[in-house]
Amino acid sequence: MGKYPTENIGDLRRLAARIRLNALQMVAIQGFGYLGQALSAGDIYAALFGSGALRPRHDRFIVSPGHYIVVLYAVAAELGLIDPAELSSYGLDGALLEAISTERTPFVDLSCGSLGQGLSGAIGFALASRFARDDRRVFAFLSDGEMEEGQVWEAAMFAAHHKLSNLVAVIDVNNSQVDGTVTSVTTIEPIAAKWQAFGWRTEEVDGHDVGAVLRALKTRQADKPLVVIAHTDILGRLKSFPPTVDGHFIKLDASLQEVVIRELENFDA
Amino acid sequence: MRNPPYEIVLKPYGKALVDLALRREDVICLGADLTRQTETDLFRDQIPDRFINVGMAEANMIGIAGGLARAGHTVFVNSFGVFCTRRCYDQIAMSIAYPNLNVKIVGFMPGVSSPGGPSHQAIDDIALMRALPNFTVVDLTDAREIAQAVDAVADHPGPVYLRLKRGEIPVIFDDDHHFSLHEAKVLVAGTEVCIVASGMMLPAALVAAQELKHHGVSAAVVSAPVIKPLDRRTILDAAKGARLVITAENHSIVGGLGSAVAEALAEAGVGVPMRRIGLRDVFAESGSREFLFDKYGLGVRDIVRAAWKEVGEGRPEPQVKEIQTAPGAYAPV
């Protein structure tokens, strides 16, 4: 897509809508799947990949929660980083694009189906860049539920102690995990205060405001890692879903698909 | 090959790792607050730029090792065997084994050589690491093998678990000994009993074979430092025709050397009876190495007894002495 990278907010919002539509069409193949992840994180991925904040195949990209890999497929196909034809076999037996990421997953530097492990791997890449004295930034995408895993905090402590300023964590705070809302399972707030206490620079934004996400990604400080805490809605603030839907693993019948597609296609950037 | 009492050396692993890293810039050393205990104080002092103390955060350490290896580094991860295997098992499986990365996990203080009780006694580390696809698993006690193994595992493209004795390290083999990641070695030829040993049980196996010979029983000793991939050919050749196979390991009898040898014998249809010397599916307790090896049946006497029950023809069991070590010769926690 020739218009990317761009910092034009309308174009980035249109990219986010395309990400959601691609994800919807992938999930529709089986009629169920990790669509909520794309609805909540679509704007975040548009800001990361559409703006040039992340330089594909130069900067590192880690998807810590493998259930979000659908969002990466959706944006990578849109930007020509993977073959868009692969999307049509998403999740099918033998397909390249698996529903939860594996070592076969294209493009991404690291992704983990077992949660809470991505930030540690990202630190390995950040240290490697420091050893190599290169200018690569390392972007680690995390979800809020993962913060229940202790390893995230081991990694957070380490990254700040070693002043890994080339490391950026982006957390999709969509308040959704398997058993329900994150807030009903455990209290993870105050999220920003926790990361600050661990020695990180924090940017807390509305994760559906691509401009705000982009501004947060572009901030730099020489001696601290950065975490962008992006508050989102697991249904991407779409009005077509009934309130009872399970955002973590959405079931899509044909009539629901139709109204969601119509809402996304009529989206006004 | 030498006889006990063995000459003792210090830090053969730590020295070999420094030598390797001085030749190879891709080598990184990670630790988890056990620097002197894992002999990596030498690395820290001589190559500080490539030494990272991750602190008491083994899960994070394994993940960092995976990231560094994906970026092209050869990473040595050091801790006690309990902490760098069982404690962070899913991290090892997903961050290192599955992507088949160039990470060498080095676990010290094997089995009941630790007086620290079950929390510090790695009795299942070989079983755990052997179950992970792509992993090579090595159990060593001899100083010459340890030094050579550092280069061998660094040259091997893939994950390795290197299980090492801690503290005073015996020199069992002569200068011309060659360690291979692909070979078990018949150290003593014999026909009636075939003893297969690894790690800290190798000295006891050698002395047991001498005692058996002294009492008229011909016993072979096969050193099998590489538990996975097991050199089946050498072990099967040594076992065929014997009346009894004995495995000896400072580890649970479940899932380690004994299991690996049993699988090899059974699949090859070698119908030789077998006894496994090792911890008999129990957790141990605190205590000196001598006390624990005696209590949990890891002595020369236990190997001889197992052999004698099968081949002793009802004669009185030989009374044998354990290998004597100088007081304090095995480092405490």
Cα–Cα distance measured from residue B178 to residue B105, given in angstroms and rounded to the nearest whole number: 22
Residue of A120, A138, A142, A198 for testing the chain B interface, max B β-carbons within 10 Å = A120
Mutate to test the interface with B, among A117, A139, A142, A167 (most CBs of B within 10 A): A117
Shortest distance between the Cα of B16 and any Cα of chain A, in A, equals: 22
Confirm if B163 and B145 have CB atoms less than 8 A apart. Answer: no
For the cut 50, the answer to whether the pLDDT of residue B250 exceeds it is yes
pLDDT of residue A232: 98
Between A222 and B149, the more confident residue is B149
What is the predicted pLDDT for the residue at B333? 33
> How many residues appear in chain B?
333
Q: Is the N-terminal amide bond of A190 cis, ω within 30° of 0?
A: yes
Q: Identify which of B219, B185, B168, B194 has the alpha carbon closest to the alpha carbon of residue B39.
A: B168
CA distance B51 to chain A (A): 12
Q: In 3-state terms, what secondary structure has residue A244?
A: coil
Interface of B to A at Cβ within 8 Å reads 28, 50, 52, 54-55, 57, 59-73, 90-91, 94-95, 98-99
**A6-54: pLDDT as tens digits:** 999 999 999 999 999 999 999 999 999 999 999 999 999 999 999 999 9
Lowest mean pLDDT among A191-205, A244-258, B80-94: A244-258
Cross-chain CB nearest to B67 (options A103, A124, A157): A124
**Is the pLDDT reported for residue B332 higher than 90?**
no
**CB contact (8 A) between residue B98 and residue A103:** yes
Which chain A residue's Cα is nearest to B56? A154
Q: Which two tokens stand for residue B108?
A: 């010290």
Residue B218 one-letter amino acid: S
Looking at the DSSP assignment, which residues form a beta bridge with residue B277? B248
Interface touch B67/A119, C-beta < 8 Å = no
| Residue type (1 letter), B230 | L
Instruction: Report how far Cα A62 is from the mean position of its chain's Cα atoms.
Output: 9
State CA B331 to chain mean position distance: 17
- Among this protein's residues, is B322 annotated catalytic? no
pTM of the model: 0.96
Q: Which residues contact B10 (CB under 8 A, 6 or more apart)?
A: B168, B169
Using omega within 30 degrees of 0 as the cis cutoff, is the peptide bond preceding B318 cis?
A: no
| A128:B59 CB<8 A | no
Mean pLDDT score of chain B: 96
Residue pointed to by tokens 């014997």: B242
What pLDDT, in 10s, does the model give residues A61-95? 999 999 999 999 999 999 999 999 999 999 999 99
Closest-CA distance, B48 to chain A, in angstroms, reads: 12
Q: In the structure, what pLDDT confidence band is assigned to residue B328 with cuts at 50, 70 and 90? A: low
DSSP letters spanning B138-161: EEE--HHHHHHHHHHHHHSSS-EE
How many Cβ atoms are within 10 Å of B165's Cβ, its own excluded? 25
B8 token code pair: 């003792």
Q: Which phi and psi (to 5°) does residue B137 adopt? A: -125, 125
Q: Token pair of B28, please?
A: 């990184």
- Residue A145 contacts B where some CB pair is shorter than 8 Å: no
B70: nearest CB among A110, A131, A151: A110
Average pLDDT over residues A166-193: 96
- Of the listed B25, B39, B58, B290, which one is catalytic? B58
Q: How many CB atoms lie within 10 A of CB A31?
A: 13
Strand residues in chain B grouped as ranges (E): 7-10, 27-31, 51-53, 74-80, 103-108, 136-140, 160-164, 168-171, 185-188, 193-197, 219-223, 226-228, 244-252, 274-279
Pick B94's closest partner by Cβ from A114, A131, A132: A114
Which residue type, as a one-letter code, is found at position B128? L
Chain B residues in contact with A61 (beta carbon < 8 A): none
Contact A151 B95 (CB under 8 A): no
**What residues of B are in contact with residue A123 (Cβ under 8 Å)?**
60, 63-64, 67
- How far apart CA B184 and CA B165 sit, in angstroms, is 19
With 70 as the cut, is the pLDDT of residue A120 above it? yes
- Report the half-sphere exposure of B31 (CA within 13 A, side-chain side): 20
Strand B160-164 to strand B136-140: parallel, antiparallel, or no bridges (unpaired)?
parallel
Residue A102, pLDDT > 60, answer yes
Pure H helices in A162-207: 182-185, 191-197
From residue A113, give the alpha-carbon distance in Å to each of A65, A71, A105, A224.
6, 14, 11, 28
A121 in contact with B, Cβ within 8 Å? yes
Mean pLDDT computed over B137-150: 98
Residues B165 and B293: their CA atoms lie apart, in Å, by 14
